[in-house]
Amino acid sequence: MDELTVKNITKKYSKNAAPALKNFDYAFSNGVYGLLGPNGAGKSTLMNIIVGNLAASEGEVFYRGADIRTLGEAYRSILGYMPQQQQLYEGFTIKRFLYYFAALKGLSKKEANERIAELLHVVGLYEFADRHLKTLSGGMKQRVLLAQALLNDPEVLILDEPTAGLDPRERMNIRNYIYSIAEKKTILIATHVISDVEQIAKEVIFLRSGEIVLSGTPEQVAQEIGPFIWEVDVLKEDYRRVNEMYPSNRVAGERDGLVSVKVISEKRPELPEVRSAAVGLEDVYMYLYPNERR
């Protein structure tokens, strides 16, 4: 059953502006969905419409068949949202901040005690619970925001750049935890860290200028782009020439004095010993957005 349905959403921030979202239409069930695309693609706009922070110019959002505008508080009670911007009460300790949001979400004192202790362990901040937010690093603040989003054990979890500023081990721990809870939740993750969703996403959605350019399972989108990704081994001194011929390339490794290069080309590259390449989401991203920064 589709838990969350976004029907033909268009969002314009002013009458004469280009749409930030244009006819976005997608049905989400339980599992992890990755929202990918460069800055300005429409990811944050979509998330803010889904959580009710923004009104769509056109279209509707439904949860289990009901318009979220009519559900009101009932819908908000099953939501968890982690925004990209770190807007925290700097004078609060971590624990006080989480108790404050637990009260806003309607948790009893007993529920708050149990849930906050559990989540502080999940995000690796249990021993720092009495630290003031203003003393935390950016990565620690991200983990506080994630814990806040999870307090009410939400059925719909919306995460905007959840691992920004985290080190590789922290990212892995958070990714594993998200995967562990995804069976009974609909989870949307907007991220520039493709590895955050490549192994755990049920489906990925690539956006450009507010429109879906490609979507499907990671395997499906990789298969669709696969014919345009090639690999070749070149001498180090020849890499500059390859880079000039095919600017949308990336180094995939080095061995025995040869550089393995992945080349994006819709025709077979005019290079010696070209072979088809194994394709991941990063290759798909580079194909779809060859001239754009994340």
pLDDT in tens, 141-188: 989 999 999 999 999 999 999 988 888 888 898 899 999 999 999 999
Q: Write out the residue range of the structural domain in which residue 283 sits.
A: 223-288
Residue 77 clears pLDDT 90, i.e. is over it: yes
Q: Residue 86 has what pLDDT?
A: 65
Query: What is the token pair recorded at 192?
Result: 């520039």
pLDDT for position 248: 72
pLDDT in tens, 228-248: 999 999 888 888 888 888 877
Residues 232 and 256 grouped into a single domain: yes
Q: Which class for 109: exposed (0-12), middle (13-18), buried (19 or more C-beta within 10 A)?
A: exposed
The per-residue pLDDT for 157 is: 97
Q: How confident is the model over 45-65, as a mean pLDDT?
A: 96
**For the residues 101-105, what does the mean pLDDT come to?**
94
Check if the beta carbon of residue 50 is closer than 8 Å to that of residue 27: no
d(CA 163, CA 143): 8
Q: What is the rounded average pLDDT of the residues 104-133?
A: 95
Checking if the pLDDT of 271 tops 60, the result is yes
Domains in the chain: how many in total?
2
- 212 and 231 share one domain: no
Determine the average pLDDT of the residues in 278-287: 93
pTM of the model: 0.92
Query: Does residue 294 sit within a domain?
Result: no
Segment 134-141 mean pLDDT:
90
Q: What is the pLDDT of residues 22-46, one digit of tens each?
A: 999 999 999 999 999 999 999 999 9
- 67 and 108 housed in the same domain: yes
**Burial tier of 2 (Cβ tally within 10 Å: 0-12, 13-18, 19+):** middle
Same domain, 58 and 103: yes
- For residue 234, is it within any domain? yes
Looking at 162, 194, 217, the residue that finishes a domain is 217
Indicate if the pLDDT at residue 290 is higher than 80: yes
Instruction: State the chain's mean pLDDT as an integer.
Output: 92
Q: Of the residues 192, 217, 242, which one is the last residue of a structural domain?
A: 217
C-alpha span between 132 and 92 (Å, rounded): 6
> CATH number for the domain including 101?
3.40.50.300
Please report the pLDDT score of residue 246 as a whole number.
82
Supply the pLDDT for residue 165: 81
Residue 2 has pLDDT above 70, yes or no: no
Q: Is residue 293 part of a domain?
A: no
Q: Tell me, what's the pLDDT at 236? A: 86
pLDDT-wise least confident of 1-15, 58-72, 96-110, 196-210: 1-15
Q: Does 77 reside within a domain?
A: yes
Question: Is residue 121 situated within a structural domain?
Answer: yes
Pick the closest to residue 120 from 100, 146, 102, 138 (CA basis): 146
Q: 201 and 106 share a domain?
A: yes
Q: Are residues 40 and 147 in the same domain?
A: yes
**168, 197, 217 - which closes a domain:** 217
Interval 245-254 mean pLDDT: 81
Render the chain in DSSP notation, one character per residue.
Answer: --SEEEEEEEE-SSTTSPPSEEEEEEEE-SEEEEEE-STTSSHHHHHHHHTTSS--SEEEEEETTEEHHHHTHHHHTTEEEE-SS----TTSBHHHHHHHHHHHTT--HHHHHHHHHHHHHHTT-GGGTTSBGGGS-HHHHHHHHHHHHHTT--SEEEEESTTTT--HHHHHHHHHHHHHHGGGSEEEEE-S-THHHHTT-SEEEEEETTEEEEEE-HHHHHHHHGGGEEEEEEEGGGHHHHHHH-SSEEEEEEETTEEEEEEE-SS--SSTT-EE----HHHHHHHH-TT---
For residues 219-227, give the mean pLDDT: 96
pLDDT tier, 294 (very low <50, low <70, confident <90, very high otherwise): very low
Say yes or no: 152 and 53 in one domain. yes
Q: Domain check: are 110 and 185 in the same one?
A: yes
Q: Are 187 and 157 in contact (CB under 8 A)?
A: yes
Q: Are residues 95 and 213 in the same domain?
A: yes
**200 and 276 within one domain:** no
Task: Say if 54 falls within a structural domain.
Answer: yes
Q: Let me know whether 71 and 173 are in one domain.
A: yes
Same-domain status, 39 and 90: yes
Specify the range with the lowest mean pLDDT, choosing from 6-10, 58-62, 186-190, 236-240. 236-240
